[in-house]
Structure 1
Amino acid sequence: METIHPIQPLTGTGTKPKRKRSIIDCDLHLAPLRGGYQALKPYMSRYYREQIETWGPRVPGQIGMYNNGGTNGTMRDHKMPPGDETVALDYIRSNLLDKYQIDYGIITGMDYGINTIPDTDYAAAVCSACNDYTIEHVLAKEPRLKASIMIPKQDSELSAKEINRVASHPGFVQVIVSNGAEKPYGHRRYYPIYEACVRHNLPFAIHVSMEGIGINPPPTGAGYVSHYAEYRLARAGIMMTHLASFIYEGVFELFPTLKVVMIEAGMMWIAPALWRMDQDWKALRHNTPWVKKLPSEYYREHVRVTSQPIELPAKPEMFLPMLEAIHADPCLMFASDYPHWDFDSPALAFPKMPDPLWERIFYTNAAELYGLPQRGAAKGGND
């Protein structure tokens, strides 16, 4: 079991670090930087290129159903200038990486809509094209950017094949899927994916989106909701289902080195979810005898969660105790969700907290998970 670092209580002198330190941002949405599906066509066979030319991408979108705020879901003041991928990367460097001293940014996939269609061969072709595009136009040009392997999760064998194909590239640091899914992710249909993740030492990441879209079931047990605000809340409930599924189906017993990352579903809901699961495990453990430990222990050892969107309590003094309740010291990683409308600025998103905790959330936890270098003293910013 890994060492758990207890959160130190906030004192009168405990604040964010005064020194401007570099960070790791665990949720960036940057690709395809230009051209949408047209940019992916060079990486696809003629058969699929002609399909896109004739019928378009054939992939459901989410913004039209539950409008993701802003214009196309992005910040109004962040519009890419005209030009090719080089121009776009220069814009990202100056407006994100350099501005906020980001040592590494994790790109969390492209179009999750590919996780919603029944044509698994087409889904696999698009995922392969996304990954090849990312290698050529992003990873080869900006070493500070790392990426996520897109997979057609509808077909576990095809997914494992794609992981095996590109996992050796050092720029890929995790495998990613949408939160919307046909089955909770603890289900055995996904085991070939986890076998491939473990084989290549890659975390399995779940990013909110595509709940209730395409082949995925409705976003709530009561059906579809009417407004985007309701939809955002429903996403956390689905992520909670995946978390419970991993634990109660015994996935972490079968794959003891597997790590799971929960992205953009919030974080404070995790505390009561763990309390409830621990209580139920004690009372009902005869139902799942293969679950050997408290659910909260599996969570601490196997699950990491990104911070955005942060739920801030009405009473500021509740913030640090809630961070302790979700085991933030070993499990929480900073994410900005750039360039979306609800972008969390690294400089403003978090209230004041002790220096060691800030360090783990903004850098160390992600560096440990993704195998990135620890920040050296020379990489810090100016006082």
Structure 2
Amino acid sequence: MSTMQQDQQNTPDAASIRKRSIIDCDLHLAPLRGGYNALKPYLPRFYREQVETWGARVPGQNAMYNNGGINGSMQGRKVPPGDEAVMLDFLRADLLDKYNIEHGIITGMDYGINTTPDTEYAAAICSACNDYTIEHILDKEPRFKASIMIPKQDPVKSAREIDRVGSHPGYVQVIVSNGADKPYGHRHYYPIYEACVRHNMPFGIHVSMEGIGINPPPTGAGYVSHYAEYRLARAGIMMTHLASFIYEGVFELFPTLKVVMIEAGTLWIAPAIWRMDEDWKALRHHTPWVKKRPSEYYREHVRVTSQPIEMPHKKDMFLPMLEAIHADECLMFSSDYPHWDFDSPVQAFPKLPDELRERIFYQNAAELYGLPQRADNVDGGQG
């Protein structure tokens, strides 16, 4: 059920929630106007002319698993005509001010650039997107923070891009698609993690592009037929990345690295880490470099965003499941604005204990991204 329509009510609980500023960890805003055409001023002439002649030339998932895509963005919103400045004013009113968002994390643009075999072109598009984001968003609205787009197909070029823009105060993490030709624990990606550590930035994985372009099928049994199946397959791929990080020993090699799993669901993590703990105990001689239980690596190194969060049929199961995934340390609120399955901060969760709500809606993200405490310090910062 979409919360865009539910969010019109103004109950006392909702009013109380809105008084507390929050951090939203999954916003899709760039480029604000014009799609790839907006990036042309930031591209070398060679690629600018290619975009003008042939279009973006980037694989996309909408043709295969139509999830609304561009048509689904801003659904139910009456967006005024105008340039980037007009759009930014709209976002201030419709998002930041409406939901009292103290910081909003932009999680990249079209992840299709992570699926093209032309790594030079991918690198140029990622750089253009990062420069556009600085000029039109980060330097205009300090409440927005952003994720560095990288051409993950080429880890060396990716590391250079992180080094190029990683010192900008508006960038707080690196972002890639969930779809990948190798699990992310593979040593192929080490140059990216070295750059993340240099800049003290988390490595964010956002669902998208599974089975698209150069990526393999979204399941071990091949391609699925419908978008509902595809959404479920995404969680399985994210689980593979999680296991890969742990069993390949990435967190031993990069002890300060943090990983953020974005928009792949949440509560499935509990049985996944339970299973990994059991298998590690039985098979630890296969991976002697894994020195701690997988659940410990998860708790220390992994953070997960809430949207879409699974709701058990029995309400009394919800809080124990949050405890099982260490939500007080690892779970961060996200809305996925402005997509069709957007989760309103007012409606996304049932009533939570104040301290847990504070951790999920603000503190966990503030600690991960190095963001300051609430400016208004409502209720002493305790929710």
TM-score range, shorter chain: over 0.9
CA RMSD of aligned residues (A): 1.6
Alpha-carbon separation, structure 1, partners of 2:59 and 2:79: 24
Alpha-carbon separation, structure 2, partners of 1:242 and 1:327: 19
Residue 96 of structure 2 aligns with an amino acid whose one-letter code is L
After TM superposition, the structure 1 = structure 2 runs for residues 182-201 of structure 1, keeping only pairs within 5 Å, are 182-201=181-200
Residue 87 of structure 1 aligns with an amino acid whose one-letter code is V
SS of 2:25's equivalent in the other structure is: strand
Residue 280 of structure 2 aligns with an amino acid whose one-letter code is W
Q: Does the C-alpha gap of structure 1 residues 278 and 194 become closer, same or farther in structure 2, counting only changes over 3 Å?
A: same
Alpha carbons 1:75, 1:342 under 8 Å: kept: no
Alpha-carbon separation, structure 1, partners of 2:76 and 2:70: 10
Shift of 1:111: 1.1
Structure with the bigger RCO (C-alpha within 8 Å, sep 6+) is 1
Alpha-carbon separation, structure 2, partners of 1:135 and 1:46: 21
Paired position in structure 2 for 1:247: 246
Residue 64 of structure 1 aligns with an amino acid whose one-letter code is A
Residue 262 of structure 2 aligns with an amino acid whose one-letter code is I
SS of 1:26's equivalent in the other structure is: strand
Alpha-carbon separation, structure 1, partners of 2:110 and 2:100: 27
Q: Does the C-alpha gap of structure 1 residues 16 and 52 become closer, same or farther in structure 2, counting only changes over 3 Å?
A: closer
Paired position in structure 1 for 2:358: 359
Alpha-carbon separation, structure 2, partners of 1:150 and 1:195: 16
Paired position in structure 2 for 1:296: 295
Shift of 1:71: 6.5
Paired position in structure 2 for 1:262: 261
SS of 1:243's equivalent in the other structure is: helix
Alpha carbons 1:17, 1:358 under 8 Å: kept: no
TM-score, length of structure 1 as denominator length: 0.94
Match status 1:122 vs 2:128 = no
After TM superposition, the structure 1 = structure 2 runs for residues 312-331 of structure 1, keeping only pairs within 5 Å, are 312-331=311-330
Alpha carbons 2:24, 2:334 under 8 Å: kept: yes
CA-to-aligned-CA distance 1:146-187 (integer Å, 9 cap, x gap): 000000000000000000000000000000000000000000
Residue 113 of structure 2 aligns with an amino acid whose one-letter code is I
Paired position in structure 1 for 2:332: 333
Shift of 1:347: 0.3
Alpha-carbon separation, structure 2, partners of 1:40 and 1:282: 50
CA-to-aligned-CA distance 1:274-333 (integer Å, 9 cap, x gap): 000000000000000000000000000000000000100000000000000011000000
After TM superposition, the structure 1 = structure 2 runs for residues 1-383 of structure 1, keeping only pairs within 5 Å, are 18=16, 20-69=19-68, 72-378=71-377
Residue 28 of structure 1 aligns with an amino acid whose one-letter code is L
Residue 112 of structure 1 aligns with an amino acid whose one-letter code is Y
Higher helix content, 1 or 2: 2
Residue 208 of structure 2 aligns with an amino acid whose one-letter code is S
Alpha carbons 1:179, 1:209 under 8 Å: kept: yes
Shift of 1:375: 1.4
Shift of 1:64: 1.9
Alpha-carbon separation, structure 1, partners of 2:240 and 2:323: 22
Alpha-carbon separation, structure 1, partners of 2:247 and 2:335: 31
Shift of 1:76: 2.7
Shift of 1:247: 0.1
Q: Does the C-alpha gap of structure 1 residues 302 and 286 become closer, same or farther in structure 2, counting only changes over 3 Å?
A: same
Unaligned runs of 5+ in 2: 1-12
Alpha carbons 1:179, 1:235 under 8 Å: kept: yes
CA-to-aligned-CA distance 1:9-39 (integer Å, 9 cap, x gap): xxxxxx9994620000000001100111111
Residue 179 of structure 1 aligns with an amino acid whose one-letter code is N
Q: Does the C-alpha gap of structure 1 residues 151 and 93 become closer, same or farther in structure 2, counting only changes over 3 Å?
A: same
Alpha-carbon separation, structure 1, partners of 2:23 and 2:338: 16
Alpha-carbon separation, structure 1, partners of 2:284 and 2:15: 44
Residue 374 of structure 1 aligns with an amino acid whose one-letter code is Q
Q: Does the C-alpha gap of structure 1 residues 356 and 240 become closer, same or farther in structure 2, counting only changes over 3 Å?
A: same
Residue 229 of structure 2 aligns with an amino acid whose one-letter code is E
SS of 2:189's equivalent in the other structure is: helix
Alpha-carbon separation, structure 2, partners of 1:208 and 1:35: 23
Residue 215 of structure 1 aligns with an amino acid whose one-letter code is I
TM-score, length of structure 2 as denominator length: 0.94
Alpha carbons 1:70, 1:341 under 8 Å: kept: no
Alpha carbons 1:108, 1:148 under 8 Å: kept: yes
Alpha-carbon separation, structure 2, partners of 1:272 and 1:16: 32
Q: Does the C-alpha gap of structure 1 residues 319 and 104 become closer, same or farther in structure 2, counting only changes over 3 Å?
A: same
Shift of 1:67: 1.2
Alpha carbons 1:16, 1:358 under 8 Å: kept: no
For these two proteins, the number of residue pairs brought into alignment is 368
Alpha-carbon separation, structure 2, partners of 1:169 and 1:280: 42
Alpha-carbon separation, structure 2, partners of 1:304 and 1:44: 34
Alpha carbons 1:66, 1:228 under 8 Å: kept: yes
Unaligned runs of 5+ in 1: 1-14
Stretch deviating more after TM superposition (226-235 or 67-76):
67-76
Residue 268 of structure 2 aligns with an amino acid whose one-letter code is W
Alpha-carbon separation, structure 1, partners of 2:30 and 2:72: 14
SS of 1:247's equivalent in the other structure is: helix
Percent sequence identity over matched residues?
A: 81
